[in-house]
Amino acid sequence: DAQARLELARANLANQQENLNIAQWRNQAGLGNMLEVEQAKTAVAQTTAALPTLRLAIATAIQQIDVLSGRPPGASTALLSPPAPLPPPPEIVGVGLPAELLQRRPDVLASQWNLEAEVIRIGVAEADLYPALRLSGSLDTSSDSVGDLFDVSVGTLIAGVTAPIFQGGQIRARIEQQKGSADVALANYRNTILTALLDVENALQSAKASRDREAALKEAEQSALASLEIAEIRYRGGAVDFQTLLDTQRSVLTVQDSRASASAARSTAAIQLFKALGGGWDASASL
C-alpha cells in the first residue's frame, strides 16, 4: 500500500513540477501571474512533504516483516524496498468451499478435542462421538447473507449435520447423565462453530465489498486522468485558470490514493478469509 502510494506521489510530483515550470514561463511571458506560480510551488511542496512519511511507512513495514521472519530489522531492505505490485488475490466469490475446512481452524480443533476428551473421560465410546463431529456440505461464497452461507441454512446445518450432538441423541443423554463438564464442552463446541461461521461470513462480505470498491475506483481513476489531460491542455492554451488545473490534480491524487488503499484492502480481505477458513487454503487444490 505504502509503496504504491509512494509511486503515485512521485508521478504526481513530476507532473506538478512540470506545471510549475509552465506557470513560471507564463508569468515571464506576461500570460500568467505570480499567484499561479506560488500556487504551483505550494502543490509541489505539499507532495514533496508527503514522501518522507511514505518512505518511513515502507521502512517500518519491512522491519516488522524481518522481525516476524526471525531476522534482524532491516535485513530485507534491499530485497523489499524496490516497489512491486501487490499480487492479485484469487477470485473467491462464487467458489464452493467444503464446510470441513472449518475444522482446520485452531479454535475449532481445540474445542473439538476438548469435547472428545470430556466424553472419553465419562466413558462414552470414542467411535460413537467421531461421526457427530464431522462437518459436511459446502460454503457458498457467492452468498450475500448468513442464512445462505452454507448450501443449507445455519439452523439446518446444526440440526442435520451435527444432529447427534445438538438435538439430544443418545450421546448427549449419556453425557448429561454422567458429567456436566462435558455438556459445557458441548456448548462451547457449538458456539465455536457458530463463531467460525460468523468469521467466514464477515470475511466474505469484506472481500466482496473491497472488490467492488476497487473496481469502482479504477473507473474513477481513468475518468480523473482523462479530466486532468484535458485541463492541462486547456491551461496551456489559456482556456482555464491555474486553480482549475490544481483542483483537477488534487482530484486525481485523491482517487489514485483511494484506489491504492482499496487494492491493499482487497488483499487484506482475502487473507482474513483464508484465516477464517483455517489458513492454508489453495484455490487450485482439490479438496
Model confidence at 131, pLDDT cuts 50, 70, 90, reads: very low
Whether the pLDDT of residue 11 is over 80: the answer is yes
Tell me the residue ranges of DSSP E strands in the chain: 96-98, 138-140
Whether the pLDDT of residue 149 is over 70: the answer is no
Give the distance, in angstroms, between the CA of residue 212 and the centroid of all CA atoms in the same chain. 12
Per-residue pLDDT, averaged over 264-281, amounts to 81
pLDDT at 51: 93
Average model confidence (pLDDT) for the chain? 76
pLDDT at 123: 63
Whether the pLDDT of residue 146 is over 50: the answer is no
CA nearest to 273, candidates 190, 214, 197: 197
Per-residue pLDDT, averaged over 158-173, amounts to 48
Does 24 or 150 have the greater pLDDT score? 24
pLDDT at 153: 35
Question: How much of the chain exceeds pLDDT 90, in percent?
Answer: 16
Model confidence at 127, pLDDT cuts 50, 70, 90, reads: very low
Model confidence at 97, pLDDT cuts 50, 70, 90, reads: low
Give the distance, in angstroms, between the CA of residue 120 and the centroid of all CA atoms in the same chain. 41
Model confidence at 219, pLDDT cuts 50, 70, 90, reads: very high
Residue found under cell 462437518: 135
**In Å, how far are 8, 24, 264 from 51, measured between CA atoms?**
10, 24, 19
Residue 252 DSSP one-character state: H
Model confidence at 255, pLDDT cuts 50, 70, 90, reads: very high
pLDDT tens column, 220-254: 999 999 999 999 899 888 888 888 988 998 899 89
